[in-house]
Amino acid sequence: MSRSIAEAIRAPEEGREMVLTVATDGDVEAVAGAVDELGGSVLEKLRFDMLEISISEDRIADLDELNAVTSMNAEGELRFAAGRGSEGN
């Protein structure tokens, strides 16, 4: 069973990677650049301004704070990004 995004943000496991589908506000290149700066990798650029990425659990919280990230999904779990002003995630 995989860990949830919330678990990874709350208590990241050092050296553990997660594959996420990240929705953007349209600025795909900015998010791709941020993923690279955070030490992650863009695995695929998807339709509808989305990316499939691989990133270390300890950097997911940083990704979550980006305004250009609107949501993140890991194996069926959807999380609206904190950078978008959502609450309760």
Per-residue pLDDT of 47-60, as tens digits, reads: 999 999 999 999 99
Q: What does the pLDDT read at residue 86? A: 42
Is 88 a residue whose pLDDT tops 60? Answer: no
Nearest to 68 by CA among 18, 28, 21: 28
Encoded tokens for 74: 């890991």
Distance CA 39, CA 44 (A): 16
CA distances from 46 to 18, 20, 53, 82 (A): 17, 12, 10, 22
The residue behind tokens 């997660």 is 18
Encoded tokens for 34: 């941020």
